[in-house]
């Protein structure tokens, strides 16, 4: 390997997780190429480059996206419509994304500071809730408390196993459940439970905004579901 490439790879591997050093690396053209920080390539097109530079969960144009894998974002973006009602465990840019592309969005968060920070940014079709964890008892059943049925329940917050176990009654018969970071062994209990309940799984492996590693977002679905899977 040429010396400048060897140096570039070494610098990237030793400083990739430090954003200030990463921005310094971008001044070097060879390292920009190795990192994918150039126009007209996959990382640029999907918005990963922009998310790294800005430190935000956004696409290439700066629009909010969920903090999940890019293959899932592409898949779900082609299937969302204003007739779909969504419940989220975990709030933020994903809430804004679903509110723009789907119908009503109910979202609960356990972090009071974060809730207070983002509640004024939400559009009219979002109901944002705050719930203390309290060992997960109330939080992990929150979708049931709205007395509504949902087309999608997104599990991307705290107590994810309990959220999967406790809220199936809040799904419409055609509803689907989405679990982020589904590759983690600690979520195997939820996966096994959903399989027992007749759900199939569709895995979306890839990286995600501001993320440097491989992860998985999974849709759990039954036949005749709202996404046409």
Q: According to the model, what pLDDT value does residue 162 have?
A: 95
Question: What pLDDT score does 134 carry?
Answer: 76
Residues 152 and 46 in one domain: no
* CA dihedral angle for residue 86, residue 110, residue 118, residue 52, rounded to 10 degrees: -90
| pLDDT score, position 69 | 98
In a domain, 163, yes or no: yes
Query: Domain range spanning residue 31?
Result: 3-54
Same domain, 147 and 35: no
C-alpha span between 143 and 86 (Å, rounded): 10
- Same structural domain, 7 and 89: no
Whole-number Å distance between alpha carbons of 212 and 158: 22
Q: Could you tell me the CA-to-CA distances from 78 to 22, 75, 101, 144, 228 in Å, in that order?
A: 33, 6, 10, 28, 11
**pLDDT, tens digit (0-9, with 9 covering 90-100), for 14-31:** 444 455 555 555 555 545
Per-residue pLDDT band at 128 (split at 50, 70, 90): very high
Q: 204 pairs with which residues across the strands?
A: 217
Over 80: is that where the pLDDT of 67 sits? yes
Q: Assess if residue 121 is contained within a domain.
A: yes
172 & 196 share domain: yes
In a domain, 226, yes or no: no
228 within some domain: no
Tally the domains of the chain: 2
Q: Are residues 93 and 196 in the same domain?
A: yes
CATH of the domain at 107: 3.40.50.150
Q: Kindly state the average pLDDT of the residues 106-112.
A: 96
Claim to verify: residue 132 and residue 183 sit in the same structural domain: yes
| H or E element, residue 21 | helix 19-25
Separation in Å, CA 193 to CA 164, 172, 188 = 8, 18, 8
- Do 136 and 176 reside in the same domain of the chain? yes
| Same domain, residue pair 50 and 75 | no
Do 78 and 46 share a structural domain?
Answer: no
Domain shared by 48 and 92, yes or no:
no
Is residue 98 domain-shared with residue 175, that is, in the same domain? Answer: yes
């Amino acid at each position: 390997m040429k010396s400048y490439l060897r140096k570039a790879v070494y610098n990237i591997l030793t400083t990739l997780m430090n954003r200030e050093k990463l921005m310094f690396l971008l001044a070097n053209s060879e390292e920009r190429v190795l990192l994918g920080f150039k126009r007209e390539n996959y990382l640029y097109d999907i918005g990963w480059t922009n998310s790294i530079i800005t430190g935000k969960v956004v696409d290439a144009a700066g629009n909010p996206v969920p903090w999940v894998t890019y293959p899932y974002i592409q898949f779900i973006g082609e299937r969302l419509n204003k007739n779909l009602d969504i419940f989220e465990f975990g709030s933020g840019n994903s809430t804004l994304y679903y509110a723009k592309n789907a119908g009503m969005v109910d979202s609960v968060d356990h972090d009071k500071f974060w809730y207070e920070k983002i509640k004024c940014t939400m559009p009219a079709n979002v109901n944002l809730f705050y719930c203390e964890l309290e060992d997960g008892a109330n939080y992990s059943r929150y979708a049931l408390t709205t007395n509504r049925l949902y087309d999608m329940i997104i599990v991307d917050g705290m107590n994810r196993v309990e959220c999967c176990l406790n809220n199936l009654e809040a799904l419409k018969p055609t509803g689907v459940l989405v679990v982020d970071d589904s590759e983690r062994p600690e979520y195997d209990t939820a996966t096994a439970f959903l399989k027992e309940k007749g759900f199939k799984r569709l895995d979306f492996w890839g990286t995600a905004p501001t993320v440097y590693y491989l992860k998985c977002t999974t849709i759990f679905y039954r036949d005749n579901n709202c996404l046409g899977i």
